[in-house]
Amino acid sequence: MSSAPLLPAGAADYDDSYYCGVPKSMLFKTGPDGLSEEEAERRLAKFGPNQLAEKKDNPLLKLLLAFVSPMAIMIWIAIAIEAVIKDWPDFGVLLTLQILNSTVGWFEDWKAGNAVAALKNALKPECQVVRNGQHRNMEATLLVPGDRITLAAGAAVPADCEISEGKPIQVDQAALTGESLPVTLHCGDSAKMGSNVTRGEIEAIVTATGGETFFGKTAAMIASVDEQGHFQKVILQITFGLLCVSFILTGIVLGYLLLNGEDVLQAIAFAVVLLIASIPIAMQVVCTSTMALGCRMLAEEKAIVSRLTSIEELASMNMLCSDKTGTLTMNKMELQDDLPMWTAGITRLDVLEAACLAAKWKEPAKDAIDTLVLKSIPLKPLDRYEQVEYEPFDPSTKFTLATLRERESGKVFSVMKGAPQVVLSKVHNVAQIGASVDAKIMELASRGIRGLAVARTNAKDQWELMGILTFLDPPRPDTRATIEKAYEYGIDVKMITGDQQTIAIETCRVLGMGMSVLTPENLPGAEAMNDRNLGKNYGGLVENADGFAQVYPDHKFTIIEILRQRGYVCGMTGDGVNDAPALKRADIGIAVQGATDAAQAAADIVLTAPGLSTIVTAILYAREIFQRMKNYVIYRIACTLQLLSFFFFAILAIHPNAFGFEDHLYFKLPVIALVVITILNDGCIISIAYDHVKPSHTPEKWHFTEIFTVAVVLGGVAVVSSLLLLYWGLNTNEPDSILKKMGLSELDYGQVCTMIYLKVSLSDFLTVFAARTTGSFLSRLPSWHLGIAACVAMGASTVLSHYWDDILDLPEMKSLTWKWIGFVWAYCVAWFLLQDAIKIVTYWLLYKMNIGSEAHHQGLMERKEKMVQKRDNRRALTHESVMRGESLMKASVRMTGKSTALQLQPDHAKYKDMSSADILAELNALESKVRALKDALK
């Protein structure tokens, strides 16, 4: 066995002929049998794994930085003021808030970062390497300099390497150079880590790994920018809006306090803490933890999210363009007995042998077709041939080609396998056998049977069609039910395949999708990819189709672009390198199980389980995550408005001295009370990431008018109830006080403050339960996480209200009796029920005004019903056409009066004004011409 020599004991100084101190002449002179395992292990120990040194954030440094964020700085200012005025209780509570806020935020961010890193680590790239004379798949991190590897279409180049002898390959180096067009690499050229092979297959010798690669050396100079998704933008916009409102109202309050003689430091401290309490400090923490939890849930369902923010787009998706093979079908080819042949003197074994020769039979199978043929016969007899050249399958050519030499005789010949129409076009006697081959292909396709044509060159170097291997790729057992479920949840599913139209129609029929399947003749060419009028010109045609057959990669891109221009949020599944452009163009790119490195790199979600059901499950999980986020946003806006508006009106409009409390010109809670409210509130609301929600039956969308309207209503009801209770509490010293008439005792000012503290706290926590549903708060029970968190927070506030003197002993606030606490509880629950009822009415009014998610969902439900009706109509139309023995287009004209295809084709505008009779006459004439042309070929 030929192998590169072992490493020398000593290391030389670096120059151009050395790699890390080792002579290149010794490292890279690897024979066809590759390295031995012993040598590979020694090199791995010396040069390290083939991975880039990741920048690991120092967790201690990140924790320290959390204490100097903009919000943390504001809290430090308040702490400093309390220290100056020597208000040590407030100082201690503010310091506690600072520690809790910074550490919890850091911990959730660290936990989310670990979750995302774990998910990405689950996608370990592999490569094909030659070790000990055996081809095998191996993790790319285990490559070492001198390894002999195979570079094939769809695979990422795992390390810097030098191309060996063979046909040139094409490599996409856009990630390295920005060049959009693939580069052709010949023997001796260098392929760089970070690029992707787009066409061809060849062996190469690894020349650099890890940090010694070109990519590794330049990575440190490239600044990485975190992609900001739409949801992050929404959160930032909401936070900025609340911040502006908070600054304005707090500034007015501060000015009022200073104008009325309040101590400057006391006034500033109160204003700063009010600002801290009203700003959604925990918003980013809640969002991050909810997203991370959602990613873990999706990973458990075999869907790995490579871009965290894609969860929102997944929740909004209403169109899924699905690849047929492997997603809708099993991708487990079953070879059939039927094997029609067109060359005299050959047998079934000859055809199968030729199909195997048109593959790398000594290497692991590259795809399902190679797996099928390589398992059909014993491979040992094929060793009598030497494969001189090999051209792997390419979606743009749809065939595989190999040139072989018979070892004993030296005879050289070529074999080819691929799509029947493509292979047929290359044989020398196509004029004689074309009609019979077409007829056989159509007959097979009508039964859902696929064909793989096999051809070879004869003594005159002419291509001869040997035969057509027939096989079935049965639909997955759950695909039909999954498609129905997708329709139920407002997701239209369209099949995209390179298979023949007849096979696609039969598959659609079996899956219950409707059988309107278009071919590339109905679609614009590659030159129209960037046409902004694609949606206008072809939108109706594409929308009404159930699938697309015989398509190439550029057609997939165009289909996605048309649907996006029509306003759809599109998902696209794919597995090959040529699917990458469409995956990237789609709102949600989904790489199916077994996808190439290029497809995985372009995708937002990578599936680790086969089938369509995983995608639909992921969509429903994403909608649940979206609902949790929306509920939290409504709640957080309502809380901000409650705190700000209450203290704004309480300070400016209600004067305690008018009720007999001469030492208090205006009402305000002590700083410590606001801080406690903030601590308990933020600690409670993190649990909303685990709340019970039901996925919407229609795609999600942000409705800001609805969100702000409902939040204002919830917050407004809470403000009114708090102001009313404050008025009643201050009025308890009057003989006609309504609270005295209810048997409650008179309150001093400190007890009034404690009562309002308890009221605001309970209103905050109860508002969570109103914000999380559009109907009654009882229509969906909360999760135990949220229930327990709310009970703990409200219980803590209640206990603190009764034992305030014993716990804190502050003169500004005094303990309440249990009777008063019971009254505040009853008062808050009564107003909560009213708040919930007003919320229900608000949603109803928004729906009647055609505003918000309910109206949006109703519109989508109506569109979904129309979509299903169209599908059912197409099924009936196809059935009718089959029963009458007429074409689908003619049936459409007869039943609808017009041909949809003719109406929507921009090049056939002249047909718009034609009557049904004229269109039928035109179709009959065209059919006669087609029959005459087919007869001429016989």
Tens-place pLDDT, residues 345-365: 899 999 999 999 999 898 888
Domain boundary, last residue among 619, 643, 662: 619
Is 58 within the bounds of a domain?
A: no
My answer on whether 695 and 804 are in the same domain is yes
The residues of the chain scoring below 70 in pLDDT are 1-26, 53-57, 70-71, 85, 87, 89-90, 104-105, 108-124, 174-181, 217-232, 281-285, 288, 308, 525-530, 576-578, 598, 808-811, 852-938
Find the domain containing 537 and state its range: 304-330+475-619
Q: In what order do the strands lie in the sheet with 196-199?
A: 183-185, 169-172, 196-199
> What value, to the nearest 5°, has the Cα angle with vertex 784 and ends 778 and 790?
80
My answer on whether 672 and 781 are in the same domain is yes
Q: How many residues does the chain have?
A: 938
Residue pointed to by tokens 């009647």: 848
Residue pointed to by tokens 């409200």: 794
Cα gap 727→732, rounded to integer Å: 9
For the whole model, what pTM was predicted? 0.72
My answer on whether 465 and 499 are in the same domain is no
Q: What are phi and psi of 122, to 5 degrees?
A: -70, -20
Residue pointed to by tokens 């051209």: 391
Is 492 within the bounds of a domain?
A: yes
Domain boundary, last residue among 170, 187, 217: 217
Query: Could you tell me the CATH number of the domain that includes residue 761?
Result: 1.20.1110.10
Residue 900: the pLDDT is: 39
Is 111 within the bounds of a domain?
A: no
Cα gap 52→217, rounded to integer Å: 9
Is 708 within the bounds of a domain?
A: yes
Query: Could you tell me the CATH number of the domain that includes residue 543?
Result: 3.40.50.1000
DSSP H helical segments within 520-569, as ranges? 534-544, 553-565
My answer on whether 700 and 827 are in the same domain is yes
Is 118 within the bounds of a domain?
A: no
Cα separation values, 211 from 178, 219, 455, Å:
21, 9, 47
Cα gap 52→193, rounded to integer Å: 11
My answer on whether 677 and 817 are in the same domain is yes
Phi-psi region of 567 (alpha: psi -120 to 50; beta: other; left: phi over 0): left
Residue 77: the pLDDT is: 77
My answer on whether 495 and 548 are in the same domain is yes
My answer on whether 398 and 532 are in the same domain is no
Q: Are 529 and 558 in contact (CB under 8 A)?
A: yes
Query: Could you tell me the CATH number of the domain that includes residue 200?
Result: 2.70.150.10
My answer on whether 703 and 761 are in the same domain is yes
Report how many domains make up the chain: 5
My answer on whether 592 and 645 are in the same domain is no
Please provide the distance, in angstroms rounded to a whole number, between the alpha carbons at the two ends of the chain: 56
Query: Could you tell me the CATH number of the domain that includes residue 365?
Result: 3.40.1110.10
My answer on whether 191 and 211 are in the same domain is yes
Annotated active-site residue 323? The verdict is: yes
Cα separation values, 581 from 155, 586, 590, 797, Å:
15, 9, 12, 56
My answer on whether 533 and 580 are in the same domain is yes
Is 64 within the bounds of a domain?
A: no
Domain boundary, last residue among 593, 619, 645: 619
CA-nearest of 45, 53, 33, 38 to 6 is 38
Cα gap 427→453, rounded to integer Å: 11
Q: Are strands 319-323 and 492-496 parallel, antiparallel or unpaired?
A: parallel
843-844-849-855 Cα dihedral, nearest 10 degrees: 70
My answer on whether 256 and 394 are in the same domain is no
Cα separation values, 851 from 630, 710, 715, 847, 857, Å:
16, 12, 20, 6, 10
Q: What are phi and psi of 57, to 5 degrees?
A: -70, 135
Q: State the catalytic residue, choosing from 323, 367, 492, 575.
A: 323
Is 417 within the bounds of a domain?
A: yes
Is 99 within the bounds of a domain?
A: no
Q: How many CA atoms lie within 13 A of 83 on its CB side?
A: 9
Instruction: Show the tokens assigned to 373.
Output: 């043929």
